[in-house]
Each structure stands twice: as C-alpha cells, then as structure tokens.
Amino acid sequence: MADETVPVEVKHTQLFIGGRFVSSISGRTFPTYDPRSGDIITYISEGDQEDVDSAVKVAREAFDKGPWPRMTGYERGRLLFKLADLLEQHSDEIVALEALDNGKPVVIAQMVHVLTIKYLRSQAGWADKIAGQTLKVDGPFHAFTLLEPIGVVGQILPWNFPTYMFITKLSCALTCGNTVVVKPAEQTPLSTLFCAHLVAEAGIPAGVVNVVPGYGPTAGAAIGRHMEIDKLVFTGSTEVGRLLMEASAKSNLKPLTLELGGKSPLIIFDDADVDEAVAVADGGIFFNMGQVCTAGSRVYVQEGVYDEFLEKAVKRAQQKVIGDPFKAGVNHGPQVDQAQFDNILHYIALGKEQGANLVTGGKRSGVKGMFVEPTIFADVKDDMSIARDEIFGPVMSVMKFKTLEEVLERANGTIYGLAAGVMTKNIDLANRVTRALKAGTVWVNTYNVLDPAVPFGGYKMSGFGRENGLRGLQEYMQTKSVITRLVLPSWL
C-alpha cells in the first residue's frame, strides 16, 4: 500500500525564534512519522517551558518595542501579501510536506493550499481598513473607540490541516498588529516550520512570528499558563480546550478562542436529489479521511429515501482509491498516526458490538501504514458510541427518521454544535431547519464549503469565539473607549 520514497527534502527541523532557527535549550528532539509506513521521517527539536519562555520574551519585545504594531496598516498588509506570494511560489514544496507528514492525498493538499493563500490575502486586505467608531453620547462629550492589537498571542494548532491552520490564525493575528508564539501539532510540524522561513523571507520583522514545536503537556501547557501571553487561540479536542481554560483561569485570565470537537449531523429529506445527497454525504465524512472537525458523521435520512441512499452511498464509498497520497488518482490516504488509526478501529469494533449494521469497510486496508477503509454503518441508534463520540475518521453512521420534529430533536441531541447540513428542495423547510439547528455553521444542499469572509466557530462544547473575516479579526483586538469633555461656546 505504501511507497516509502520521500518525495521532498526536509529542510527545517528546529525551533523558529527571533527570526532564526535554533535548537531547543534542552537539546532534545522528537520523531515525526510517515503515516504511509509508520517509519520516522526525521527528528524535530523539542521545545518545552524554557523555549516557550524564550519565544514569549522575544515576541513581547517585538510587540512592546518593535515596528510591527506601529506600522501603518498598509505596510503590514503589504508584507502579508508578500508572504502570500511566497506561499504560492513554494506551493509544490508545501503540498509535498503536508502529504508526507499528514498523509493527505496531494490532490486534497493542493486544494487546501489554494484556500490558505486566498485566506491570507483576504485578511491582509483588512490591515488598513480596521477602524473604531465615533459614538453619539448625551451631554457635552465627544466619544469614540480605538481598535488596538491585544499583544502577544499564543496559538496551538491541530494536525489535520497544518499549513491552513498556521496561516489562517497567523493572518488574523498579524493583520491586527499582534505578535505570536505558535505550537504546531507534534504529529505534523514540517510544513509549519517551512512556512516560518518564508515569514522571514517576506520581511516580517524578527520576533513577530515564533514557532515552538513540542508536546501538548509541555510546550502547549507552557503557552496556556504563561503570564506574558495576552490571548490564546486553540483548535483541537474539547478535553484540551478545558485544560487551556483552566490554565487561563489560574494564570492571567487571558481570553481564549476555542474551536473544539464536533459530531455534526447531515439531514437528508425525502424530497432531496438522492444522487446529490450521496455525493454531499460522501464528501462530508470521507474528505481528508474523516479527519475534519466539521465532518458530517451522523447522517439522518428520511425513511422514504433511506434504502436508496444507503445503496448508493455504499457503492460510492467502495469506489474510493486508497493508497500512497503521492500517487495519481489516489483520493483516500492514511490516517495521521498509529494512535488515530487504533482509535478509529476501536470505534468500528464498538459499532459492531453495540448492534450497528456494518455495510461496507470496517477494517485496515493493506498490511502496512495507517490506512482505514471508508466505513459505513446502517441502522445506527443515537445512544451508540459511534453516534455520540467524535471519531475523527472515515466512519459514517446512517440513521433513519420519519418527521421533522423527530430529526431536529435527535440532531440537536449532542454535546457538540460545530456544524450541520440539510438536503432538501423545499426552501421553507430549509429555512426552518437552519434556524432550529444549534450549530455555528449550517450548509444547505452542500457541505464543508469554507470562505475567508464567513465567520466560523461552534455552539455548546464545540467552543466559542469566531474565526474568518472581520468577525475573526475582532478576536485579536482590544476595544478602547475614549470620552472627551467638550467646552462649548456660549451661544450653543
């Protein structure tokens, strides 16, 4: 199944602090693995508390004394546009590193990289347009607001879309004039470190962007509790989100933006185009091998089209081309690592034990690497583990429903609220469902469509705060109110 050829040179394996690559203070390293085979690609410098302290000190000085927050918005935007140009020029290398370290098929990595560059350019365009408001107040006073950067921002990244997550979070923070300390996921540090050298090449001042690879309980925890970090942004599990909230409470009460777990429903009504619904459902759960926070893992199908949908969904899933992500035609690669691979197979076993009907997939593909077949369970009950828990893998749970009222109650019956989808030709029905679903994003007759202009975030235990567009930029700014007493002439 796997081809162990390394198709790209790994150039950067150290921490990036103060505009240059440096070894960790301890000298320790950790391995990053090729999910095609489980073999070690290379060793990465392992940051911990001391390295985070060093990075924060540099970022603090760059914010308090450096030029970045004092530049005009136009100048910051110009440098961010230059970074976007460099990302575009080095697309092939970045895509290859992403596929190598993450297992993402090249065709998917290319598509996501295009969106990444679009996102950076979109946010950079706001740099010279951020402004406060003039306010009308009672009495002889003039009032206005100033929007100011928060300061040093800690950003802890997930492993499923390494470059996209790095650049999208970076673009918001830097557009507003902040400096950052970033911890990439220990599973996928390679593309983030490569992009860090492009930050320096773009002319962004030293110390504005700092990257400290390492493990969550050490480097991540150090960022969470650091007294000199003014804001924390995290995408990942709800469990880690809780730990970071606790760290904030015990340190300096730094505000958080959290994008956490999901168990998103896709509701397919009888009047939907079944072929279209199958295609949407397939992409909703099997895109990126199911390793997507918004994955439509709970598929509710109205009883009139249930059997037809299931038959066609199984056929489509079985047509997936599983294999080496660098090979042409492959659209389903390996899971990111051994732990994720084992967790997915554990949930598949639970699904069978608890009485769900396994209709396709359900096992390892090949004998080497982290490949899991696209898997569909039918006749799933809402209290089964595969319907309740976030699996973060290619496992679709298909459930039958009768009425609108029933499916809304079941769809909302989860601790999560990140995303949802609805398939119907009835606009009135679509409007009713979109308003009733407790989710931060609801797609109608499509799924997983993202755009830099559209706010993104969750309800309930899927987190809080929003990313993307002007709403996302507001998470990285302080609002200062200024009120001045006016001395009015006597004739007024």
List residues with catalytic annotation: 259
The tokens of 108 are what? 């998917």
Are the C-beta atoms of 321 and 432 separated by less than 8 Å? no
The candidate with the shortest Cα–Cα distance to 133, out of 488, 448, 482, 492, is: 482
C-beta of residue 158 within 8 angstroms of C-beta of residue 69:
no
Instruction: Find the length of the chain.
Output: 492
Distance CA(361)–CA(237), nearest Å, equals 26
Residue 473 backbone phi and psi in degrees, to 5: -65, -35
Q: How far apart (Å, rounded) are the C-alpha atoms in residues 109 and 448?
A: 15
* CB-based contacts of 138, cutoff 8 Å, min separation 6: none
Q: Is 284 helix (H, G, I), strand (E, B) or coil?
A: helix
Q: Determine the Cα–Cα distance for residues 263 and 382; give it in Å rounded to an integer.
A: 12
Q: Which candidate, 394, 235, 217, 404, places its Cα nearest to that of 317?
A: 394
Burial letters 137-176, b for 16+ CB under 10 A, else e: eeeeeeeeeebbbbbbbbbbbbbbbbbbbbbbbbbbbbbb
Written as six digits, the tokens of 129 are 């347009």
Residue pair 174/152 in contact by the 8 Å Cβ criterion: no
DSSP for residue 367: S
- Six-digit token pair at 457? 């975030």
Half-sphere exposure of 53 (CA within 13 A, CB side): 4
d(CA 266, CA 285): 10
Q: What whole-number distance in Å separates Cα of residue 97 and Cα of residue 87?
A: 13
